[in-house]
Amino acid sequence: MNPEQVREFDLKADINQLTRFLIQQQQADGTWRFCFENGTIIDAYMIILLRTLHYEDEAFIQQLHQRIIKEQLPNGCWKLYEDEEDGNLAATIDNLQALLFSGYSQLNDDSILKAKQFIRSRGGITNTKGLLCKAMLAITGQQRWPKAISSIPMEMLLLPTYLPINFFEFSGYSRVHLIPMLIMAKQDFHIQSPYPLDDLFVSPSTRYEAEEFESASYQQMQERIEEGRNRLLGSSLNDIASEKAVQFMLDRIEDDGTLYSYASSTILMVFSLLALGYDRQHPTIKKAIEGLIQMRCYSSSHTVTIQNSPSTIWDTALLSYALQQANVKASHPAILKANSYIVNMQQHKKGDWSVHNEGAAPGGWGFSESNTINPDIDDTTAALRAIYSMSQENESYKEASVLGLNWVLSMQNSDGGWPAFEKNVDNKMVTWLALDGAKAAAIDPSTADLTGRTLEYLGHYSKLKHDNHHIQRGIRWLMNNQEADGSWYGKWGICYIYGTWAALTGLSAVGITSSDKQVQKAIEWLYSIQNRDGGWGESCTSDRRMQYTPLHHSTPSQTAWALDALIAMHDRPTSAINRGIKRLMALINENGWPTIYPTGAGLPGNFYVHYHSYRYIYPLLALSHYYEKYV
């Protein structure tokens, strides 16, 4: 037997093993509730917030403290991912503050002394670029509010949407974080930290004198905002704008008390309400804390952590689809329960997405269970794949599918690609803000992963012909945005492997074959980065450098993505594909750090996600597609 040949018996056994395991993990309500693990940043901010509110649950605070301590490295720092060079300054500052706020760490503890030494060795507190870290330092009174925030006029909220700069030119994610920070900055809000960090400033003067560099583009953006403000009439615009800012937050609080279903924005919102004089026991604040605490899960180190936005809908849709790809029938109880849950989570009211897409009817799905006003393209196409079989026979599922398809088509950007949340929110001017991460977070442009995944859905599951103008425009966008080396950059996964997988599977679904020169180049790129062990692995550093950076280890999800793309483009398995499948089959049963490496992306250099579900979903899909096509 050829050593690279995949044994049919072993392959089918692994598919069945994964299938049985996942069905056993399903909850009674039809969902899968895997952890959406995102480092220690939310845990740190929760400790500071709970202590500020005099929250009485010592056991919970101690659990968060233990989680942070457990993740600290011997040199005193914290990292966002295993191979991050030199540690992460912002994470270390955040965690140091949280440990001290908790009361379970003291100034002379070895962990505190090492963390402080690491911060000093990296230039001190003022050397951090992380916006949320800077905001928390301002909240705790360690330094002034960043000028990049405090200099933004609140009246920007009043600018009409027809002006070149207005508040809805920012992405939805950035809006719900920017508003509470603007409120606090205008109030010059801070709490009294029990542990001033004066010894972590490189010199005494930098605490109040350090200001961000103002580029010419940033100054130009400020001038445009000022022009818009001067066109408004009235003498009390600031008061009106401040009232609108507060109402903006209150209008977007979900039933669980969170702001837009994000923990990070909810924490900022609570602090901003305190800045406005809200009592610590105010119902809005109490409800927000209840919602945050409901976001608990167990991390890969078996400690309690707070998810930034639980991935229940996303995981449930993907797992229903993956199981069906593994030949679990749509009539199976697990699929029936999952799809019943999914169809009930479809959104039927307009949210902020309708500002730039006013005429479209609702019909999308969100990421988290509490999310009722912020649907996105990826969750919607995932849900539509999951319920496809049932939509062919059941009228209510058919209606949901039609609504979802129409919403997805309506959200296509003018450039032909698809965004994540909002249509045509790609004004480069707002990225000129002097804020770390503004380029990635301030706008919501077309991306290869969203465009590729949408084309994959349209090609395989919609009734549209491949010469449909939506499909053709999507193809053109992908072809025009391929990297020089043949890869595509993916925004919501790590990173070039993710984008290339989405692009190739999408192009294959709409009839583009391996004979296409650009497809050939992408295939050659995937082969060129295959690890010696047969798998694939990419470092989170890729999205900071904006070029592919090898991890030098194979991860389950990235190996599955690369294989799924190659399987889509090859009529027969190559020796490289077979080696990859054998490595993937081994990875399923491994438990080293590469199997829990974060392959979900959020904000380059600041926020990465270890989806606990990914080590099951994508291997099951790749193995099933291999079996269906080649065996």
pLDDT tens profile 465-506 = 999 999 999 999 999 999 999 999 999 999 999 999 999 999
Q: What is the mean pLDDT of residues 23-36?
A: 98
Best CA proximity match to 381, nearest among 299, 474, 300, 293: 474
Provide the residue type at 327 as one letter: N
Distance CA 516, CA 528 (A): 18
pLDDT for 143: 94
Contacts by 511-519 with C-beta closer than 8 Å and gap 24+? 511/459, 511/466, 512/475, 513/569, 514/569, 514/570, 518/479, 518/482, 518/486, 519/569
Model confidence at 606: pLDDT above 60: yes
378 is catalytic: yes
Mark 304-333 as b/e (b = at least 16 C-beta within 10 Å).
bbbbbbbbbbbbbbbbbbbbbbbebebebe
Confidence of residue 221 (pLDDT cuts 50, 70, 90): low
pLDDT tens-digit series, residues 153-206: 888 899 888 888 899 999 999 999 999 999 999 999 999 898 899 999 976 545
pLDDT tens-digit series, residues 259-291: 999 999 999 999 999 999 999 999 999 999 999
pLDDT for 224: 60
- Could you list the beta-strand ranges (E) of 226-265: none
Model confidence at 517: pLDDT above 80: yes
Other CB atoms within 10 Å distance of the CB of residue 407: 23
* Bridge partners, residue 562, by sequence: none
Q: Whole-number mean pLDDT of the chain?
A: 93
C-alpha 207: how far from chain center: 32
pLDDT tens-digit series, residues 390-410: 999 999 999 999 999 999 999
Model confidence at 335: pLDDT above 60: yes
Structural tokens at position 513: 């074959």
Are 456 and 418 in contact, with CB atoms under 8 Å apart? no
- CA dist 133 to 29, 34, 268, 393, Å? 38, 27, 12, 51
* Bridge partners, residue 37, by sequence: 610
Confidence of residue 239 (pLDDT cuts 50, 70, 90): confident
3-state per-residue secondary structure call for 149-209 = HHCCCHHHHHCCCCCCCCHHHCCHHHHHHHHHHHHHHHHCCCCCCCCCCHHHCCCCCHHHH
pLDDT for 214: 52
Contacts of 278 (CB under 8 A, 6+ apart): 284, 285
Phi/psi of residue 343, nearest 5 degrees: -65, -30
Contacts of 8 (CB under 8 A, 6+ apart): 627, 631
Confidence of residue 434 (pLDDT cuts 50, 70, 90): low
Model confidence at 99: pLDDT above 80: yes
Best CA proximity match to 374, nearest among 300, 290, 456, 313: 313
Are 33 and 606 in contact, with CB atoms under 8 Å apart? no
Model confidence at 213: pLDDT above 50: no
Distance CA 620, CA 369 (A): 24
Q: Kindly report the length of the chain.
A: 631
Model confidence at 43: pLDDT above 70: yes
Between these two residues, 225 and 333, which has the higher pLDDT value? 333
Identify the H or E element spanning 613.
Answer: none
pLDDT for 5: 83
Angle in degrees, 0-180, between the axes of helices 517-528 and 556-569, rounded to the nearest 10? 150
Distance CA 362, CA 470 (A): 19
Distance CA 610, CA 305 (A): 12
pLDDT for 231: 58
In the chain, what percentage of residues exceed pLDDT 90? Answer: 85
Query: From the candidates 94, 378, 379, 449, which is the catalytic residue?
Result: 378
pLDDT for 287: 98
Confidence of residue 211 (pLDDT cuts 50, 70, 90): very low
